[in-house]
Amino acid sequence: MPILNLDEVKPGMTLARAVYTHPERLLLEAGRRLTEKHLRIFKSWGVAAVAVKESAAGEGASQAVVSPPDPPDDALREKFSDVLGDPVMRAIMEAAARQSAGRERRRKARHGRG
Amino acid sequence: MAGADLKRVISRVEDLPTLPRTVLRITELVNDPRAAAKDLSIIISDDQVLTARLLKLVNSSFYAFPRRVSTVTQATVLVGFDAIRNLLITTSVLDLFPARSAKVRREQELLWDHSLGCAIGAKTIGAFLRHEKLEELFVAGLLHDIGKLVEMMFLPAEFNRVAERVRDNGGLISAAEQEVLGCTHAEIGRILAERWNLPLKLADTIALHHRPLEAGPFALEASVVHLADIFARALDLGSGGDRKVPPLDQTAWGLLKLKTSAIDGIMAGMLTEFDDIRSFLG
């Protein structure tokens, strides 16, 4: 179940987990097929990322899910060098490498367009 | 920390700045259950700078309201008391610390970005945990390293020695602070928080963000900030003054009941919001 940034979510994807604006306030339940209007509402509520289903989610999803692996670079490894005995810290380092690389790709794509 | 060291530091930072009167009045008002949006907007409207900032914030993409908000009363009703108090504490804090030189200014900017990253991290983790007071977590994250800012401004010689040690030995800043000052930024942060009459929860979260379980009733909030600090460093959002990530407190991680599979989503949310919010707080 990938969790995607709102700007990577495309209409036609299916919501894997419900979206809440507040602990008790449901915005959209899990299993709904997302539309353009849903995405606009998410944005207006400040929703940053949502979980979408991996299968049968339309072609937008399969594009977004297949991203190259991003191994941590030397600087990041050095930062974590004293704490890698902890499996949670290792997971944090690997997630940080993936997310930083994704942000860099989005930046480049924006500059490429503009 | 040895008592003598703390006393020495306190005597040096005795002339710490105080929060602007308007912010103190607003803090009191927010704590008063009978206060109305109108009371708050009267105080804010008195202060042109605060008014401009508030309207800029509510019209930014951070809130993404469909229509333009043009009055303070509208803004107060839309955003809520707590959010406004937190905005004002946030923006007032930076004003209090004018940078002396270009080098210090650069260090302050990096620290500010780190603090903002931690604030957004704390809010994002809080949202994931369905915590009820996200704005409170945001401010706690934003102020968690305020002691470092105090060191930069009021103990510049000591802070330079701390920075040198970090550069030469490559360790964590807390260890260098302990050697040079006999105390850490967390403890200095508490002195400032108490001087500003900030709520006990906030003072404890600032003082104990490296030892969150000692925060007793506020252990959950301190644990959120503890983890958000690690996430912000991992994502290279600004710099806390060293090039290492502090170890994760295992009990704090257990308390948060997070799965490692949640980390990517939280970090993705952090990066989006950081890039978005930086433009208007910067």
pLDDT digit string (tens) for chain B, length 282 residues: 455 566 677 776 666 767 777 777 777 777 677 877 778 888 888 878 778 878 887 887 666 777 888 888 888 888 777 777 777 777 777 676 676 778 778 888 899 889 989 999 999 999 999 998 887 898 899 899 999 988 988 888 999 999 999 999 888 999 999 999 999 999 999 988 888 777 888 899 999 999 999 999 999 999 999 999 999 999 999 998 899 999 999 999 999 999 999 999 999 999 988 887 766 554
Question: Tokens in use for B40?
Answer: 């708050």
Query: For tokens 């109305």, what's the residue?
Result: B36
Instruction: Report the residue of B132, B169, B267, B270 to disrupt the A interface, i.e. the one with the largest count of A CBs within 10 Å.
Output: B267
Taking any CB pair shorter than 8 Å as contact, residues of chain B touching chain A are 62-66, 124, 130-132, 230-231, 233-236, 243-248, 250, 253, 260, 263-265, 267-269, 271-273, 275
Cβ partners under 8 Å of residue B42, min gap 6: none
Look at residue B87 and give its three-state secondary structure. Answer: helix
Chain A residue at shortest CA distance from B239: A79
Residues in CB range of B233: below 8 A, 6 or more apart: A79, B114, B240, B245, B246
Q: In chain A, whose CA is at the least distance from the CA of B170?
A: A79
Nearest CA in chain B to A99: B268
In angstroms, rounded to a whole number, what is the distance separating the alpha carbons of residues B128 and B27?
A: 27
Close Cβ partners of B274 (under 8 Å, ≥ 6 residues apart)? B116, B117, B120, B237
ipTM of the complex: 0.81
What are the φ/ψ torsions at residue A33 (nearest 5 degrees)? Answer: -80, 125
The residue assigned the tokens 């970005």 is: B113
Question: CA-CA distance, B29 to B198, in Å (whole number)?
Answer: 14
Token pair of B50 as six digits: 């605060």
Return the SS3 of B102.
helix
Quote the pTM value.
Answer: 0.74
Spell out the residues 6+ positions from residue B35 whose beta carbon is closer than 8 angstroms to its own. Answer: B29, B81
Provide residues of A within 8 Å CB-CB of chain B: 3-7, 20, 23, 43-46, 48-49, 51, 76, 78-83, 86-89, 91-93, 95-96, 98-100, 102-103
Contact B20, B41 (CB under 8 A): no
Q: What Å distances lie between residue B80 and A85, B45, B54, B73, B84, CA to CA?
A: 44, 16, 12, 10, 6
Going by C-alpha positions, the residue among B121, B266, B137, B113 that lies closest to residue B206 is: B137
Q: Which two tokens stand for residue B42?
A: 């009267």
Q: Is A19 helix (H, G, I), strand (E, B) or coil?
A: strand
Q: Cα A66 from chain centroid?
A: 12
CA–CA distance, B103 with A50 (Å, rounded to integer): 40
